[in-house]
Amino acid sequence: MPESINEIMVKALPFLIVPILVIVASMFLKTYFSREIVISFPFFILGLMAGFLFLVVHEYLHAVMYPKNAVVYIGIAPQYFAAVALSSYPLSRIRFVIMSLLPSLLGIIPIVFFWIMPPIYREVNGFLFGAAVLGLTSPYPDYYNVFQVLKQTPSGCQIQFYKDDTYYIM
């Protein structure tokens, strides 16, 4: 794994490609098939702002996957412009993957509602789309971590963060 948060953020950038494609395709297809503007820009900005506020919820969604006796620190690292949930408690490999991906629900849920919301509800669509943009893109370092864990660790192991690195335990 990379040695710093900055290095993770850079190496994880390719994991933004799929969420961005989903976002762009969603807007393109909804606009194309409805043949009209489907969002209100001010409500899109409000959705982005809500998505930004949901970054704290994002970290709590990581934390809920740890057992009750685990200590999880949730905070903001302003030097990296990131919120963090930190714990050195080992998790099973599958639980680690779920813990890492759970916050993506903050993007999946709004994008699904954006897909099914009628185009005439521009304000709701704008808000949902803004929330989906941040909810789908903000977990990109988590997507990277999952990829690395699945690629580098054996099935049945436990995964543990310790200081600035990730380890597996058999």
Record the pTM: 0.89
Determine the average pLDDT of the residues in 36-60.
Answer: 95
- Total number of domains constituting the chain: 1
**Which residue, 118, 138, 145, 6, is CA-closest to 59?**
138
Instruction: Give the per-residue pLDDT at 108.
Output: 98
Question: Model confidence over 87-128: pLDDT tens digits?
Answer: 889 999 999 999 999 999 999 999 999 999 999 999 999 999
Instruction: Give the per-residue pLDDT at 2.
Output: 67
Percent of the chain residues topping a pLDDT of 90: 78
How many whole angstroms separate alpha carbon 74 and alpha carbon 110? Answer: 24
Percent of the chain residues topping a pLDDT of 70: 98
Question: Model confidence over 129-149: pLDDT tens digits?
Answer: 999 999 999 999 999 999 999
Question: Model confidence over 73-92: pLDDT tens digits?
Answer: 888 877 767 778 888 899 99
Residue 37, pLDDT > 90, answer yes
State the pLDDT confidence band at 153, using cuts at 50, 70 and 90. very high
For residue 17, give its domain range: 5-169
Instruction: Give the per-residue pLDDT at 78.
Output: 77
List the Cα angle 118/121/127 in 5-degree steps. Answer: 110
CB 5 within 8 A of CB 130: no
Determine the average pLDDT of the residues in 58-75.
Answer: 92
Phi, psi of 165, deg, nearest 5: -140, 170
Residue 4, pLDDT > 80, answer no
